[in-house]
Amino acid sequence: MPRMRAVDAAVAILEKEGVTQAFGVPGAAINPFYSAMKAHGGIHHVLARHVEGASHMADGYTRAKAGNIGLCVGTSGPAGTDMITGLYAAWADSVPILCLTGQAPVAKLDKEDFQAVDIASIAAPVTKMAKTVLEAGQVPAVFAQAFHLMRSGRPGPVLIDLPIDVQMTEIEFDPDTYTPLPVHRTAATRAQAEKAIDMLLAAERPVFIAGGGIVNAGAEAPLVELAETLGVPVIPTLMGWGAIPDDHPLMVGMAGLQTAHRYGNANLLASDLVFGIGNRWANRHTGELSTYTQGRTFIHVDIEPTQIGRVFAPDYGIASDAGAAIELFLEVARERKAAGAVGDYSGWAAECAERKRTMQRKTHFDEVPIKPQRVYEEMNRAFGRDVRYVTTIGLSQIAGAQFLHVYGSRHWINAGQAGPLGWTGPAALGVARAVPEETVVALSGDYDFQFMLEELAVGAQFAIGYVHVVVNNSYLGLIRQSQRAFDMDYQVQLAFDNINSPELEGYGVDHVKAAEALGCKAIRVRRPDDLGDAFAKATAMAAEFRVPVVVEVILERVTNIAMGVKIDSVNEFESLAISAEDAPTAVALLD
């Protein structure tokens, strides 16, 4: 049996499990693992400027491409605690990433040694497994179990903590005979599929809710085929956006309190049966539950059994992987259609499509400073169908979801449930690393951008080009808007007179200078008619120089973006579209 250090066995297992990319920051307690990576040579490494940034890079890398598992590496102590936000973001959105940390020697644990912390206990609530490996001989089994857990059931992150002496201990291990553990995913039964489809066919106005579980399962094409076979409209969630293209006749809008379309909410409210697949009934999708559920029958399919009934009790629940369930639903639907048992939903679908055509928000504003709606209109024009958008929380994300268009799965990459500020930039680096030949566009407000700003240097150092659109109103805009309920505007202003950049006229941080100081390119836009040229130039520069290119857009200071607490009474603060000229890049134009 071959003998090798435990870390050499770990790197060999990473290769067998398909890991080829790591993001991290070395340190004394993890140096043995780095020496194993260097000797192996098959795992590319991107040096982050902050370990939290590395964890978000791994997150973005996983989300960008089916089958990817991002790897984040850090040393002992604060490196692990820095990863917690990244683990939480991945756990909340069912994203498998593997975080490895160094640790003090086993004999020094529980002795308050330098940078020795019980990271496994800290990480346990936001991981599928968090383990400090105390015996070197357990390393292969722990790594095998990690990949099994990350891929089985509801996907999620794992943290493995490796004491330095465990890393360096020699063990017997044969990489040639290593085989990944089989993946387990709960699957629906034929009887369950028949019951669910028959319940749907008994309704007059059914809709599918397409959640992120469909994306995780790679079941986007079968979902579209199922919808087309039955003629039933689809409402994607924010995490499922792109599972059906925005311009598909049966895509009838997103519903919710914030990241939603007017027509999406109207179509859901007009339905009498809601068939959710791979979704969580998140509160910003449902809003007030009595409004969301009243008068409608609910079917819920989710891979995690404890999700069924967690928010509200459905009329029928199925614990199943979304892909396995949809394949059975499709089989039953074809049989029912061949037997003439599928009703004609074309009138209902046409009704939904008419709402999609007529219930548009206005985007074409010519004001200076620029209104944010115009930014997204011009982004639709500039970046086309194949762009990959990356974003996290904020008014920028909410407005982006209301006005941008997504035509493919994994083309809207969003930290949905956790929404940590600063996620966007490093996640975009991970996405761009995963799909280097594709156009990647990050979207941030100024505060999100200032969190983890230093990671721009990573893109410059490692030739990772993407476009980063920063909509700058020099405000914590979403928090300012929520403070309206308290009649205050308190501690949310980021504006100040920058003595080094008086041309900013009170907008505070000079993002252009900051980006250039970190080795990147940057453009500032003040007039709406200049947006298109700026986006085109930025795309060209990202391709030419292979660095992040920042496009800072100076917005009006105060804009209230549509949102509410119930999906039947969302506040519309701006003008609505009454002609095609008001919303010229909408997927369904007004006459």
Residue that is written with structure tokens 């035509």 in the block: 407
Contact 448, 392 (CB under 8 A): yes
Contact 308, 240 (CB under 8 A): no
Which two three-digit tokens encode residue 398?
């909410």
Active site includes 14? no
Which uninterrupted H or E stretch holds 99?
A: strand 97-103
Q: For residue 516, count other CB atoms closer than 10 A to its CB.
A: 14
Q: What are residue 174's DSSP bridge partners?
A: none
Q: What are the DSSP calls for 165-198, one per residue? A: HHHHSEEE--GGG--PPPP------HHHHHHHHH
Contact 420, 397 (CB under 8 A): no
Residue in 14, 25, 268, 549 annotated catalytic: 25
373: left (phi over 0), alpha (psi -120 to 50) or beta: alpha
588: left (phi over 0), alpha (psi -120 to 50) or beta: beta
Please report how the helices 220-230 and 322-338 are oriented relative to each other, as an axis angle in degrees rounded to 10. 20
Q: Which residues contact 251 (CB under 8 A, 6 or more apart)?
A: 233, 234, 236, 244, 245
CA–CA separation, 127 and 64 (whole Å): 20
CA–CA separation, 238 and 280 (whole Å): 11
Q: Which residues contact 312 (CB under 8 A, 6 or more apart)?
A: 281, 289, 293, 298
Residue that is written with structure tokens 């978000």 in the block: 56
Active site includes 479? yes
Residue in 69, 393, 406, 476 annotated catalytic: 476
Residue in 11, 46, 51, 197 annotated catalytic: 51
Active site includes 201? no
Please return the burial class of 400, using the count of CB atoms within 10 Å of its CB with bins 0-12, 13-18 and 19+.
buried
CA–CA separation, 208 and 223 (whole Å): 9
Residue in 47, 181, 479, 492 annotated catalytic: 479
CA–CA separation, 152 and 474 (whole Å): 43
Please return the burial class of 1, using the count of CB atoms within 10 Å of its CB with bins 0-12, 13-18 and 19+.
exposed
Active site includes 224? no
Active site includes 318? no
CA–CA separation, 153 and 411 (whole Å): 24
Indicate if the alpha-carbon torsion angle 53, 54, 55, 57 is positive or negative: positive
Residue in 46, 164, 406, 421 annotated catalytic: 421
Please return the burial class of 294, using the count of CB atoms within 10 Å of its CB with bins 0-12, 13-18 and 19+.
exposed
Q: What are residue 206's DSSP bridge partners?
A: 273
Which two three-digit tokens encode residue 97?
């990433």
Q: What are residue 514's DSSP bridge partners?
A: none
Which uninterrupted H or E stretch holds 359?
A: none
For the annotated catalytic residues, the residue numbers are 25, 51, 421, 476, 479
